[in-house]
Amino acid sequence: MTLRSLSGRPYAEEVADVVAWLRDLDGCPSIDDAMRAACRSASHPDDPGTWFYVEADAAEGVARLRCLSCGGVHPVLDSADRWTYPGAWSCRNCRQAIAEVVFGLHEEASAVTWAAMAVRCVDCGAIDGVADFVVPSLFAADFVPGAD
């Protein structure tokens, strides 16, 4: 556990810390599983992309990730159908816009029913929760295109 706090805000040195942070959120369903988003585009077959530009609308529960390596866009669930054109995420601490993305998953009877999406700034490590989603009972492996 290497979460550290700067100005009262959480920072993480690695993705596992983001999962710990998600588990500690108050007032949310329990986090039973977690997945790091990874783009498995054929254009970088040996090197799954884990750095993304992120657009997310917390109020509407839509988000999409754009892979830094290939530019491929991965909408989360049905976000493309309900897209609200939210602004691009940037780190509130250092202002750069590239993040690692982790989904905390709440499961009932082995199916994902709710997900929280958190990002970790690849530069300074700041964590942000950016959106959450009611999931129509998917298995974890089906949750994000190309996810681990």
Q: Which residues bind Zn ion (CB under 5 A)?
A: 39, 41, 49, 67, 69-70, 72, 91, 93-94, 121, 123-124, 126
Least distance from Zn ion to the Cβ atom of residue 102, Å: 15
Considering beta carbons, is residue 128 or 132 the nearer one to Zn ion? 128
Q: What are phi and psi of 117, to 5 degrees?
A: -110, 125
DSSP letter at 44 equals: S
C-beta of 82 vs 95, nearer to Zn ion: 95
Answer for the pair 143, 135: CB distance below 8 angstroms, yes or no.
yes
Q: How far is the CB of 62 from Zn ion (least distance, A)?
A: 20
Using CA atoms, how far apart are residues 131 and 49, in angstroms rounded to an integer?
21
CB burial of residue 58 (10 Å; 0-12, 13-18, 19+):
middle
Would you say the C-alpha torsion 13, 123, 68, 137 has a positive or negative sign? positive
What is the smallest separation between the CB atom of 68 and Zn ion, expressed in angstroms? 8
Q: Which is nearer to Zn ion, 69 or 113 (CB)?
A: 69
Minimum distance of Zn ion from residue 37's CB (angstroms):
10
Closer by beta carbon to Zn ion, 82 or else 92: 92
